Structures are given as structure tokens and as C-alpha cells.
Amino acid sequence: MTRRNNEQWIIDLRAGGDAQSAALSDLRTALMAGLPYALSRWLSPGDPLFEPLIEETAQDALLKVLDNLNSFEGRSQFTTWAYKIAVNLALSKLRRRQWQDVSLDELVGEDAEMINPGLDADPTAGPAQLAEQRDLLARVNRIIQEELTEKQRTALMARLVYGMPAERISEEMRMERNALYKLLHDARENLKRRLEREGLTAQDVLAAF
Amino acid sequence: MDTQEPTPPFSHDHSHFLPQPDPPKKVVRRLMRLVDWNEHDYSCDAAFDLLDEYTEMAARGEDVSRLLPLLKRHLELCPSCEDEYEALLSILKNHQD
């Protein structure tokens, strides 16, 4: 593989002919070598989908890189920029495929608390900090129970606790995306007002964690 | 030393797939970032534009919360962008071009 600086990558990829073919081949090699490190957290390398996903993603990423060369501003290594595009494509595919059969009902139980009170938030915290964190978590859970509607709680839990994509939440809740954003916005306002009434700010809670 | 392999949160076997909740610290920080959200906060698109630069800084051990604080705030709020950051960081830390 030829070593190139950012400028050389751009020149070669725009060149056409043999120089472009060689640059595309080198970039494909780099993507194929880098992507397994990115994806192994989500998909076991032994999974039959692993290799096909990497090959398909590398191919799609090459096309996207070529289409977007003008937007590369040189604030990072060119290969980092290309990896970023490939990671976005790969995780978008994985998210679509892997959330498609998950229902909100099985994900979020009726009486589930948003922040698991049985787990220490920060296992490295000292006893005094742990006590403060437990107290804050209990207060935050109580505020969530008292201030949010069931719909607001369900949407927030799916998004913030499980990372369910907003488009899947809106499908599951049979809501337009804008209606979901309004629901989350209202939930945020309710929580903010109640925290203020209790003399707490988001910054106070963040500082404890 | 814990030698147990981490369980991937996703499996391709949909009949058994159920994602696991994120740790309480992460959830409470996400929730407070949402409560604390303001009009200066980044969208996912704005965060994506800077993600390569930010991840290189993080891989070099630079203080990203001081250099690109709005991006750090966004990553604490958005699970999808945070996943992409961690995936990109994993490439930069483990793979040499």
C-alpha cells in the first residue's frame, strides 16, 4: 500500500485512470483492515454476517468518499475521515437490522425504573460519593415516576437507557417523528421544572457523576 | 484481571435479541444532558462533521472536553453518535495505517 498524505489522497482519488484505481484499492484495503476493530463490539467476528458486512460497507464507503471529497477539510487524517464514513454506514445498517424485530413492550416493562437502583452508578466512587449518588438516583427516579406520563417514560427509557433509534420508537409508538420529538421536549421541560422546584439543576447531578 | 469476553449487545439472531440497558452512570448523564439541552447544542449532523478530528484528539490523549466541549456534550446525550465515536476510536487505537 502506498503511503499518502492528505493532499496526495485527494489528488490520486480525483485523478482518474491508474492513479485513482490504485488509491481506491489502497483505501479499500485500509477500510477492510480497520472496520473489524470498529464492529467487533456489536457483532462477533465469528458471526456469518461479520465478513459480508465489512465487505459491503467498504464498497459503499468508497462510493460515498468519492462523492464527498469536496467536503474533506483536512482537519484529520484522510483515512480517519474515511473510517468515520464507513463506521456511520456500518452501524446504521446494524441498527436497522438489529432493532427491526424488537418491540417496545418487551424492552420497557410497565414498572421499570429508568435508572437501575440495584447497580452502583460508579463502582470506583468512594463511600461518601456512592451515598450521594444513590440518594440522587433515587430522587431522579422518583421525579421521573411523578412527573412523566407513561408515554414519555417509555420513549425516554427506550432512547436513553437502550439507545433505541428514534425512528424505531416512533414506529412502535405509532407517532410521527415530530410528535415524538414534541413528547421528548415536553418530558424534558417537566423534568427541568421539577428539578428546579427541588432546588436541583442538571449541572448539580452531572457534577456528582 | 477479568478475562471474560464482553458480550456483544447485539446478536444477529433476532429471536433472542434483546438489548441490554446501559450502565446507570451513562443513563443519568444522558438524562441530565437532555434536561440541560439548549439551542447551542450540536445536532447529530454537526457532531458528525467534527467526529474525525475529535476522535484523533481523544486517541492522542488530548483534553477533548476543553478543546471541543459541545461535541463532548452531544456524545454524552446521543447513544448513536457515542457508538460511532467509540467504534472510530477503536480503529484508531488498534489499527495502524
Query: In this predicted model, what pLDDT tens digit does every residue of A66-90 receive, in sequence order?
Result: 999 999 999 999 999 999 999 999 9
C-beta of residue B10 within 8 angstroms of C-beta of residue A163: no
CB contact under 8 A, A191 and B12: no
Query: Closest residue of A to B13, CA-based?
Result: A98
Long-range contacts (CB closer than 8 Å, 24 or more residues apart) made by A135-141: A136/A205, A136/A208, A136/B28, A137/B24, A137/B28, A139/A198, A139/A200, A140/A114, A140/A115, A140/A205, A140/B28, A140/B31, A141/A113, A141/A114, A141/A115, A141/A117
The reported pLDDT for the residue numbered B1 is 37
| Residue A124 pLDDT exceeds 90 | no
Which residues of chain B neighbour A102 with C-beta distances below 8 Å? Answer: 17-19
CB contact under 8 A, B10 and A88: no
Query: Closest residue of B to A29, CA-based?
Result: B97
| d(C-alpha B58, C-alpha A63), whole Å | 28
Long-range contacts (CB closer than 8 Å, 24 or more residues apart) made by A168-177: A168/A99, A168/A100, A168/A102, A169/A104, A172/A103, A172/A104, A173/A104
pLDDT band at A111 (very low <50, low <70, confident <90, very high): low
Query: Closest residue of B to A83, CA-based?
Result: B88
Which residues of chain B neighbour A28 with C-beta distances below 8 Å? Answer: none
Which phi and psi angles does B26 have, rounded to 5°? -65, -40
Rg for chain A, CA atoms, rounded? 23
Other Cβ atoms within 10 Å of A3 Cβ, number? 7
CB contact under 8 A, B27 and A160: yes
Across the range A8-34, mean pLDDT stands at 96
For A69, A82, A205, B52, the CA distances from A9, given in Å and listed in that order, are 10, 11, 46, 16
The reported pLDDT for the residue numbered A195 is 95
Across the range A104-120, mean pLDDT stands at 77
When the pLDDT of each residue in chain A is averaged and rounded to a whole number, the result is 92
Residue type, A192: K
Q: What's A161's DSSP letter? A: I
Across the range A162-186, mean pLDDT stands at 94
Query: Closest residue of B to A190, CA-based?
Result: B35
The reported pLDDT for the residue numbered A23 is 97
C-beta of residue B78 within 8 angstroms of C-beta of residue B46: no
pLDDT band at A128 (very low <50, low <70, confident <90, very high): confident
Residue among B11, B22, B32 with most chain A CBs within 10 A, to mutate: B32
Which phi and psi angles does B38 have, rounded to 5°? -140, 175
| Residue A60 pLDDT exceeds 50 | yes
Rg for chain B, CA atoms, rounded? 15
Q: pTM for this one?
A: 0.87
Gap from B74 CA to chain A (nearest CA, Å): 13
**Helix, strand, coil percentages, rounded to 5, for chain B:** 60, 0, 40
Which phi and psi angles does A43 have, rounded to 5°? -140, 130
| Residue A13 pLDDT exceeds 50 | yes
CB contact under 8 A, B10 and A42: yes
SS3 A116: coil
User: Distance between alpha carbon A85 and the CA centroid of its chain, in Å?
Assistant: 14
CB contact under 8 A, A80 and B55: yes
Point out the residues of chain B with pLDDT beneath 70: 1-17
CB contact under 8 A, B22 and A83: no
The reported pLDDT for the residue numbered A110 is 67
Q: What's A113's DSSP letter? A: -
Q: Which of A146, A147, A122 is nearest to A134 (CA)?
A: A122
Gap from B61 CA to chain A (nearest CA, Å): 15
Across the range A99-107, mean pLDDT stands at 88
Q: DSSP string covering B48-83, please? A: HHHHHHHHHHHHTT--HHHHSHHHHHHHHH-HHHHH
Across the range A99-108, mean pLDDT stands at 87
The reported pLDDT for the residue numbered B6 is 44
Minimum-distance CB partner of A33 among B11, B34, B95 = B95
CB contact under 8 A, A75 and B51: no
Least confident interval from A8-12, A117-121, A177-181, B81-85: A117-121
Minimum-distance CB partner of B18 among A47, A102, A202 = A102
